[in-house]
């Protein structure tokens, strides 16, 4: 893909809104179909900007195999932290397409994910950084990084679902 063949913002927004709906509706198998075979999903540590550096520990750093394993676990009965699963509502805003990087389309968006579980509502706020790939007329997610603005995961404690 050339750097000049960028998708429209509406096409990208449709993809991100569909992804949010699939995750909120716990349709994780369908969400997997939105990913490329070499997809990456990452959540860097919180609190300080240098956490996004390559030499720091990530909260989540999954390759395609680990993403599929995570989904299988979340959909199974063995994921006690998500059985029954959390209810979530994702709000996606400020979608931007800053350009391309090789054959990848760079996209950023802000998010708020509200997680309801056991009468407690936790809110995660931050920005997504995506690298999308085009396959024919279809856009797929090659890389998805969720950068949290939360200074810490407390009182949340952990992220047992797909942010």
Helix (H) or strand (E) segment spanning residue 140:
strand 138-148
Position 57 in a domain:
yes
Say which residue, 117 or 12, is predicted with more confidence: 12
Cα–Cα dist 148/131, whole Å? 18
Summarised one tens digit per residue, pLDDT across range 141-156 is: 999 999 888 776 665 5
Per-residue pLDDT of 33-51, as tens digits, reads 999 999 999 888 765 555 5
Q: Decide if 90 is inside a domain.
A: yes
Q: Is residue 155 part of a domain?
A: no
Residue 68 belongs to a domain: yes
How far apart CA 23 and CA 19 sit, in angstroms, is 6
H or E element in which residue 73 lies:
helix 64-75
pLDDT tens digit sequence for 16-26? 999 999 999 99
Q: Bigger pLDDT: 60 or 152?
A: 60
pLDDT band of residue 12 (cuts 50, 70, 90) is: very high
In a domain, 134, yes or no: yes
pLDDT in tens, 110-134: 999 998 888 888 888 999 999 999 9
Indicate whether 153 belongs to any domain.
Answer: no
DSSP helix/strand/coil, 1? coil
pLDDT tier for residue 56 given thresholds of 50, 70 and 90: low
Read off the tokens for 99. Answer: 């350009």
Q: Given a cut of 50, is residue 4 above it in pLDDT?
A: no
We report the CATH number of the domain holding residue 138 as 3.10.450.50
Cα-based distances in Å from 121 to 36, 80, 124, 149: 32, 19, 10, 17
Q: How many domains, the chain? A: 1
Domain carrying residue 50: 9-148
Asked if residue 45 is part of any domain, the answer here is yes
DSSP 139: E
**Domain membership flag for residue 156:** no
Structural tokens at position 129: 């950084």
């Amino acid at each position: 893909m050339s750097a000049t063949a960028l998708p429209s913002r509406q096409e990208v927004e449709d993809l991100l809104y569909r992804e949010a709906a699939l995750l909120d509706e716990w349709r994780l198998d369908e969400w997997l179909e939105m990913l490329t075979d070499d997809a990456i999903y990452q959540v860097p540590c919180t609190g300080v900007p240098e956490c996004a550096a390559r030499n720091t520990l990530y909260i989540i750093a999954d390759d395609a195999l680990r993403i599929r394993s995570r989904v299988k676990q979340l959909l199974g009965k063995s994921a006690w932290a998500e059985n029954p699963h959390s209810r979530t509502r994702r709000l996606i805003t400020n979608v931007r397409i800053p350009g391309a990087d090789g054959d990848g389309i760079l996209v950023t968006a802000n998010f708020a994910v509200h997680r309801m579980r056991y009468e407690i509502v936790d809110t995660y706020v931050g920005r997504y950084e995506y690298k999308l790939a085009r396959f024919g007329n279809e856009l797929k997610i090659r890389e998805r990084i969720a950068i949290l603005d939360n200074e810490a995961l407390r009182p949340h404690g952990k992220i047992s679902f797909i942010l």
